[in-house]
Amino acid sequence: MEITDVLKILADKSDLNIVVSKEVRGKTSIFLKDIDIEDGLRIILETNNLAYEKEGNLVKVMTRIEYETLYGRKPFERRKIRTIETEHIEAKSLLPVLNGLKSNEGKIFVEERSNKLILFDLPEVITQMEEIVSSLDSPSITRVFNLKNVEPDKIKPKLQPLLSKEGKFEIDPLTKKIIITDTLKRVEEIGKLISQWDEKPKLVTKVWTLNYASSKEVGEKIKDGLTKEIGNLKFDERGKKIIIIDFEEVVERMENLISAYDQPTKEVLIEAKIIQVTLVKGNKLGINWEVLAKDVDNLAVKGIFNVLANTDPGGRLEVGVLTSNDYHVLLEALGTVGKTDLLSTPRLTRN
């Protein structure tokens, strides 16, 4: 039915007074049951690209364009306003963090005199902002940590990224102390890490003797996997040994790497025999390999190539393949057609 008729029905069934703009028109179909009257009104208008504004018991229904022109915002926004007063830090110092969280329609204002933040955004975004403000707006405390094993200078670079913007630390190399000033939460987190770093490391030492690879080359490949500031690697190139000192789990990991690198290099051996055959009278025109192949079971003649004129019987190159390593049988067979002389046995190894 016409949407204006639907709005009349809603007005009759509720205590709402509904005023409809003359620009509102069109038809709609609805199937509603056991629903709050305002939820039904919202669904009908939103699905038909319309909007409304409620003032007391009066509901003004209009198009979205009319709504944006009148109120300067999009209809059906869920934005809320929340005011937060900070106690320990300046409210304006939180702006860089909160601006990264706000939605596209969100706004953040700072009242510097009262040190308040005014948040205008979606409810879920405001909840996130409140959690951030709560974690950052904590009183600063100072705590002193006494180191037993690690030198303060070694963990100094690790501390700076862990501090909040207002946090600071000092070190005393002579007494091996670290003084941290920050929020309670940050100081507790940093304290746990300092305790872990200051634990006396349980190190193990292991020596590997390589069979194939160079100890120097393998050492260069795996050294980055050691624990920084703790692990140590040495190699003996003459004895082909690698010595590693580190935590047990690191040493176990290194053992797998060393085994993977200490593998024999794959090589191909090419071995040839160059044989001169002086043919007897009956074979002056050349060797008939097909006949000879009958005496050598595994010899297969693969091809005959003319290297001189077709009429020259001596201008042929015949190629055969032995399907096994029993080439000694072939040499014996060649002895039946002439005198054989082994000229050379070249060998070539390639990676």
Give the domain range for residue 311: 270-350
- Percentage of the residues of the chain whose pLDDT score is greater than 90: 8
What band does 309 get if pLDDT is binned at 50, 70 and 90?
Answer: low
Going by pLDDT thresholds of 50, 70 and 90, the confidence category of residue 243 is very high
Is there a single domain that holds both residue 233 and residue 293?
no
Q: Both 153 and 128 in a single domain? A: no
Closest CA to 181 of 223, 232, 139: 139
Domain count, the chain: 5
The answer on 97 and 112 residing in a single domain is: yes
| Co-location of 227 and 210 in the same domain | yes
Q: Which of 4-13, 155-164, 257-266, 328-337 has the highest mean pLDDT?
A: 4-13
Q: For residue 26, is pLDDT > 80?
A: yes
Q: In angstroms, rounded to a whole number, what is the distance separating the alpha carbons of residues 144 and 169?
A: 10
How large is the average pLDDT for residues 162-186? 83
Torsions phi, psi for 277 (to 5 deg): -115, 120
Domain boundary residue among 54, 71, 88?
Answer: 71
Q: What percent of the chain has pLDDT over 70?
A: 85
The C-alpha R_g of the chain, in whole angstroms, comes to 45
Q: Is the pLDDT of residue 291 over 70?
A: no
Amino acid 351: pLDDT: 65
d(CA 49, CA 23): 12
Mean local confidence (pLDDT), 86-103: 85
pLDDT of the residue at 301? 56
The model's pLDDT over 125-137, given as tens digits with 9 standing for 90+, comes to 899 999 888 877 7
| CATH code, 158 | 3.30.1370.120
What mean pLDDT do residues 284-312 have? 60
pLDDT band at 337 (very low <50, low <70, confident <90, very high): confident
Query: For 184-221, how does the pLDDT look when each residue is reduced to its tens digit (9 = 90+)?
Result: 778 888 888 888 778 766 788 999 998 888 888 888 88
